[in-house]
Structure 1
Amino acid sequence: MPIPLADASDMFVVHTMFRREFGSMPGLVRGVAAGDARRVELVAGHVALINGVLHQHHAGEDAHVWPRLLERVPEKLKALVAVMEEQHEAIHKGARRLDDALEVWRATASAEARPPRSSSAAETG
């Protein structure tokens, strides 16, 4: 009996949201005046929320998507799945760097401590 195809249309919606939100973050962060701790907390809170959702989303993909893809794809596509997993890991590392950068920015509210654009998880994948 063939395995039914999965409906992955919701992945498009979620990934579109991540691209939009991570794409807007550099401008939001640059728009915070140095020393404005209240605004830093507001913007950093939003960035941390989206980054946290990304962590959870990736945990779900790691547990449910990649293993099933490897079970089901033809042998000739397994290398492509490996590339996708490598990209996934690079995004995960970027998300961790963003977590670290947000912690410093929240503590100091300085312009120098703003998360660098390269810390964005979206920029690494």
Structure 2
Amino acid sequence: MTTKNGYTIFSRIQEIADKRGMSIRQVALKSGFNSPNAIYRYKQGVSPRKTTLNAIADALNTTPEYLLGETDDWQKHDVTPEQELGLDKDDEEMLALFRKSTEGMTEDEKEKFKRSFVKLLKVAKDLNS
């Protein structure tokens, strides 16, 4: 499959490889190819399959969207579910404590534990006021 986007893909692979201090050969090997020829074909406008593009993006620690020219943000942002919810460090610690404390409990037991925990937090807050 040949597209006008193939050259964009090659250019962006080359750009990120340079930023990472990698050669095209190193990118190819890290992506699971035997030679860099697969990547050089993109220079002629050949577009990679989705799985191939994902492997290259992973090797470069970037996103397929960047390589496709869909975004200018080249950095991969690993966002935890907690960060996605906007939880701060204290919230994350409380969530981790709750998860650890309720490990192995049934849903009913977790719900009872949660109600008791909320009551305990209210008492502690009142004591510190």
Higher-Rg structure is 2
Q: TM-score, normalised by structure 2?
A: 0.23
Higher relative contact order structure (alpha carbons within 8 Å, sequence separation ≥ 6): 1
Q: TM-score, normalised by structure 1?
A: 0.24
